[in-house]
A and B are shown apart, each in its own frame.
Chain A
C-alpha cells in the first residue's frame, strides 16, 4: 500500500509570486503520481501526471512538478500565480503494476491574494 503526505494544509501567496506545493509519498513499489486541482463546488481536474521518463512534468495552467525518487517527492510549482489559481490541490499516487486505486493526500489550499 502507498501513502501520500501533503505537508501544508494552506499556502498563502501574493499574485505573481512563485509557489511550491509539497507532496511526499511512501510506497514499497513504484508508483504513478498525479496532481489534481479542485475549484470551489467543482470536481477534480487533472493538472499533470508522472508515469516514467523525464522527471520534470509540465501540466496545464503553467504548472509543473518534479519527481524525485531519492526524496520520494513530487512537488508542484508555478513561477507566477494568478488570483484564479486559488483552489484546493491534491496529490495522488497509485501503484504502477497490476490494478490499484488512487491514494490521495489531504490537500493543500492555495490562497492567492492581490
Chain B
C-alpha cells in the first residue's frame, strides 16, 4: 500500500544534542510537509517542500532545518533541541496541481528531550 512512513516512532534525545527525524513516502507526491504538534493542540506547520523548493513558515525557529534529498525522503533536523521542542512531529505529503491536494499524514515521531 502506498503510504507515508516516519522513523523512528519514538525518539529520545538530550538537551542540546542534534537529532534527525526521517520521513519517506511511496505516494510519489511532490509536496512534503513537517508539522509540530504539542499535547492537546492542533498541528503547527514548520515548513514544506514543493518539489525542491523549500518554504519556511515565518515563525519557525532557526533551530529547525529540513532536507529533501529526493522525491521520496524528507528529513527534519533539530540542531540544539530544548525542552520546549518535545512534541509529536508529523510528516505529510500532497500532490500539488491535483484538484484539491489532500494531505496524507504519517504516524508521527514523538520526541522526548531529557
Chain A residues proximal to chain B, CB less than 8 Å: 32, 34, 36, 41-46, 49, 51, 90, 94, 96, 99, 101-102, 104-107, 109
- Does B99 contact A41, Cβ atoms closer than 8 Å? no
B74: interface (CB < 8 Å): no
- Does A51 contact B99, Cβ atoms closer than 8 Å? yes
Alpha-carbon distance A106/B6, docked complex (angstroms): 24
> Which segment of B38-46, B65-73, B78-86 sits at the interface?
B38-46
- Does B41 contact A106, Cβ atoms closer than 8 Å? yes
Chain B's closest residue to A10 (CB) is B40
Partner of B100, one of A42, A44, A49, A109: A49
B32: interface (CB < 8 Å): no
User: 8 A-B pairs, CB-CB below 8 angstroms?
Assistant: A36-B105, A42-B108, A43-B4, A44-B43, A99-B50, A99-B96, A106-B42, A107-B41
Interface magnitude class on chain B: 20 to 34
- Would A43 and B105 be within 8 Å (CB), given that A101-B45, A106-B41 are in contact? yes
- Does A51 contact B100, Cβ atoms closer than 8 Å? yes
- Does A34 contact B96, Cβ atoms closer than 8 Å? no
- Does B42 contact A46, Cβ atoms closer than 8 Å? no
Alpha-carbon distance A101/B96, docked complex (angstroms): 10
Chain A's closest residue to B90 (CB) is A43
- For residues 1 through 26 of chain B, which have their beta carbon under 8 Å from a beta carbon of chain A? 4, 6
Alpha-carbon distance A68/B101, docked complex (angstroms): 22
Residues of chain B lying within 8 A (CB to CB) of residue A109? 40
Partner of A90, one of B42, B45, B100, B101: B42
B28: interface (CB < 8 Å): no
Shortest beta-carbon distance from A90 to chain B in Å: 6
B63: interface (CB < 8 Å): no
